[in-house]
Chain A
Amino acid sequence: MTARIFAYIVYKDGVADDTAAEMLAAAKMIDPAALPTAIVTGSGSGLDAVCDALRNSYSEIWKVSNEALGYPNAELVRKALVAILPAASVVLLPHSHFGIDLGPGLSVKMNSASASDVVAIDGVEGNFLKVVRQEFGGQLSTHVRCDISNGAVISLRPGAFKAGAIDHANGMIVDKSPAVGALSTRRRYIKTIAAEAGDVDISKEAVLVSIGRGIQEQDNVAIAQELADTMGASLSCSRPVVDAKWLPKSRQVGSSGQTVKPKVYIACGISGSFQHLAGIKGNPFIVAINKNPKAPIFQVADVGIVDDVLEFLPELTNKIRETKK
């Protein structure tokens, strides 16, 4: 295994994302002797700050400074990467809204293998990298074999790889900007629209009753609202409930919604996609109620109840009311 490993660093306000350390750990699982190279693109002081901070963990940092990369437009980033990456590189990136934009197209332009949303790495055998992915919303896992003789683009599920100890790499920063040149694209970043604030800020609530697809109909939302009211909790939800317009976007927990940090989280009819779980922080006590015993939510919950939420919740509400009398 001689392929060179690169990690594309996502950052914000001059601070590298947690995935920077996770990719370092993943690179060691591909090749324990690997000294992966970080690639950081952007412009200005934020770029410099990230590159400097990465010297602690990465032995080499490729810096690409370019006005056009001030906002991380995946189309432009891809062109910059194609300009600087050696043939047969293995490129790691996070499976995030940015990685989903960048990865598949990059693999086409590098003519390399592509594996997305990878949750574990089993190492390399000859020309093959062995990784683990999930399908069917996390109900089943798969072993996947990637021929990396011409390199690979591997996007990693954020949080799936545990960052190792920082080994004070005292890394070297290499300026790759001259190799990139002028960048243009037919997709132009215009602006970012901040999320609308809701009537309740679920990110600050201590107890959440959270509903998912299992609530089945708009009229049933009231069943969960009653439980929340009785408990003194607030109502939140997973994506399908917002898609169906049964609750506003401000109530959605997940990577494309709110990040919550409650003490207690009661997941009612929520299957537990990784995008949803990514929005639950602070290690709350999680109770999952779902009629499918195979729902991935039971993997992360502290306590599980295999039952239909539409029948279980009203009984729970009634009993709490009685105990309060």
Chain B
Amino acid sequence: MDILVCVKRVPDTSENEIELNSAGTDIERGDLVYSVNEWDNYAVEEALQLAEKTDGNVTVVTVGNADDEEILRREMAMGAKRSALVSDEACKTSDRAGIASLLTAFVQKNPHDLILTGVQAEDGAAEVGGMMAAMLDYPFASLVSAIEVVDGNKLMVSREIEGGNKEVNEMELPCVLSIQTGINEPRYVGMRGIRQVASVEIPTYDASQLGIDKARVGQSGSKVQRVNYFVPAPSKGAEILGGSRQEIVDKMIELMKAKGGLQ
């Protein structure tokens, strides 16, 4: 089974405090640590495991610019055989439907049996995979927490629903699945692995090479535009306990006694 995984390079929220820039137009990107979107990394691991079972190959693709090559190399060091960068001026101002159009055009030029994305990225939108599936007329399932190969053209796919329950679907290939964290344990990538792919040429495609309708991408093709960023106003807000750690511990114990937290 040949599998395509769509990945994204994002600011690592566990490594950075996300700050607003002074104009409110973007976050401060000066000294951010970037990494591959956490969900996408699980998707790549899942793809590698499925490819090993079915004697297939994994390709990783991202929409962005030369800075994003680092995550493609990282995922190649993990085991992806091929990678591709979709890079066009229009990418910068495209909404998520535009990004999905670019990736769809890539899939149409480079057919795969299975397409994986992460459930969501740092924007919390959870849209691109579902959009691609509709554009390609492939079946789609989101929040996927287990994949089993049934035969050459079918998968048994579990997805997370409410209360820890799982919904099981039989899906025909080709299909698009959005992968939830925790589906597997992504393998470790060492520096040695990254060095081995450091000089691999990564094929780059722009919108015209993908034969994409320009009306679907870029600012003019975007129905949805982010106007600004702002710090959310506290709805209620916690009373922040001050003082030394020992004083805070004492206050907390008093509070626990009052609220029935100590039994």
Interface size class of A (residues with CB under 8 A): 35 or more
Q: Does A29 lie at the interface of the complex (its beta carbon under 8 Å from any beta carbon of B)?
A: no
CB distance from A87 to the nearest CB of B (A): 14
Q: Contacts A193-B166, A287-B252, A299-B234; is A108 near B262 (CB within 8 Å)?
A: no
In the complex, chain B residues whose CB is within 8 Å of the CB of A188: 169-171
Q: Does B94 lie at the interface of the complex (its beta carbon under 8 Å from any beta carbon of A)?
A: no
A135 to B230, CA, bound (A): 10
0 or 1 for each of A232-251: is its CB under 8 Å from B? (1 = yes): 11000001101111000110
Whether A97 pairs with B125 at a CB distance below 8 angstroms is no
Q: What total of chain B residues lie within 8 Å of the partner, measured CB to CB?
A: 84
Closest B residue to A157 by beta carbon equals B124
In the complex, chain A residues whose CB is within 8 Å of the CB of B170: 187-188, 190
Q: Contacts A114-B224, A117-B124, A141-B232; is A320 near B168 (CB within 8 Å)?
A: no
Whether B168 pairs with A192 at a CB distance below 8 angstroms is yes
Q: Contacts A105-B131, A108-B131, A108-B134; is A141 near B164 (CB within 8 Å)?
A: no
Whether B143 pairs with A193 at a CB distance below 8 angstroms is no
CB distance from A14 to the nearest CB of B (A): 17
0 or 1 for each of A96-109: is its CB under 8 Å from B? (1 = yes): 11101101111111
Q: Contacts A192-B165, A315-B246; is A109 near B134 (CB within 8 Å)?
A: yes
Q: Does A165 lie at the interface of the complex (its beta carbon under 8 Å from any beta carbon of B)?
A: no
Whether B143 pairs with A195 at a CB distance below 8 angstroms is no
Whether B238 pairs with A141 at a CB distance below 8 angstroms is no
Closest B residue to A241 by beta carbon equals B182
Q: Does B97 lie at the interface of the complex (its beta carbon under 8 Å from any beta carbon of A)?
A: yes
Q: Which of B9-17, B84-92, B201-209 contacts A (4 or more CB under 8 A)?
A: B9-17
Q: Does B133 lie at the interface of the complex (its beta carbon under 8 Å from any beta carbon of A)?
A: yes
Q: Which of A35-43, A55-63, A166-174, A306-314 contacts B (4 or more CB under 8 A)?
A: A306-314
Q: Does A51 lie at the interface of the complex (its beta carbon under 8 Å from any beta carbon of B)?
A: no
In the complex, chain B residues whose CB is within 8 Å of the CB of A142: 226-230
In the complex, chain A residues whose CB is within 8 Å of the CB of B180: 256
A144 to B263, CA, bound (A): 47
Closest A residue to B101 by beta carbon equals A108
In the complex, chain A residues whose CB is within 8 Å of the CB of B167: 189, 191-193
Q: Does A213 lie at the interface of the complex (its beta carbon under 8 Å from any beta carbon of B)?
A: yes
Whether A305 pairs with B160 at a CB distance below 8 angstroms is no
Q: Does B200 lie at the interface of the complex (its beta carbon under 8 Å from any beta carbon of A)?
A: no
The majority secondary structure among interface residues of chain A is mixed
> B248 touches which one: A195, A240, A298, A307 (CB < 8 A)?
A307
Whether A103 pairs with B127 at a CB distance below 8 angstroms is yes
Q: Does A85 lie at the interface of the complex (its beta carbon under 8 Å from any beta carbon of B)?
A: no
In the complex, chain A residues whose CB is within 8 Å of the CB of B119: 100
In the complex, chain B residues whose CB is within 8 Å of the CB of A242: 182
CB distance from A274 to the nearest CB of B (A): 9
Closest B residue to A292 by beta carbon equals B17
A74, A186, A192, A302 pick with most chain B CB within 10 angstroms: A186
Closest A residue to B252 by beta carbon equals A316
Whether A97 pairs with B161 at a CB distance below 8 angstroms is yes
Q: Which of B49-57, B64-72, B253-261 contacts A (4 or more CB under 8 A)?
A: B253-261
Whether A136 pairs with B18 at a CB distance below 8 angstroms is yes
Q: Does B159 lie at the interface of the complex (its beta carbon under 8 Å from any beta carbon of A)?
A: yes
In the complex, chain A residues whose CB is within 8 Å of the CB of B96: 104, 114
Whether B262 pairs with A136 at a CB distance below 8 angstroms is no
In the complex, chain B residues whose CB is within 8 Å of the CB of A303: 238-241, 252, 255
CB distance from B116 to the nearest CB of A (A): 15
CB distance from B103 to the nearest CB of A (A): 13
A285 to B143, CA, bound (A): 31
CB distance from B219 to the nearest CB of A (A): 11
Whether B226 pairs with A112 at a CB distance below 8 angstroms is no
Whether B227 pairs with A305 at a CB distance below 8 angstroms is no
A73 to B128, CA, bound (A): 19
Q: Contacts A188-B169, A319-B253; is A306 near B227 (CB within 8 Å)?
A: no
Whether A312 pairs with B259 at a CB distance below 8 angstroms is no
Whether A250 pairs with B164 at a CB distance below 8 angstroms is yes
B130, B158, B236 pick with most chain A CB within 10 angstroms: B130
CB interface residues, A 261-309, toward B, < 8 Å = 263-264, 266, 271, 285-288, 292-294, 296, 298-307
Q: What residues of chain B have their CB less than 8 Å away from a CB belonging to chain A?
A: 11, 13-14, 17-18, 20, 27, 96-97, 100, 119, 122-131, 133-135, 138-143, 156, 158-172, 175, 178, 180-182, 185, 223-232, 234-241, 245-246, 248-250, 252-253, 255-256, 259-263
Given A252-B164, A303-B240, A303-B241, 14 more contacts at CB 8 Å? A75-B139, A101-B130, A104-B128, A104-B134, A114-B223, A140-B18, A190-B156, A195-B164, A231-B261, A244-B182, A245-B185, A285-B259, A303-B238, A304-B238
* 8 interchain pairs, CB-CB under 8 A: A101-B130, A139-B13, A188-B171, A190-B169, A259-B163, A263-B260, A285-B261, A304-B240
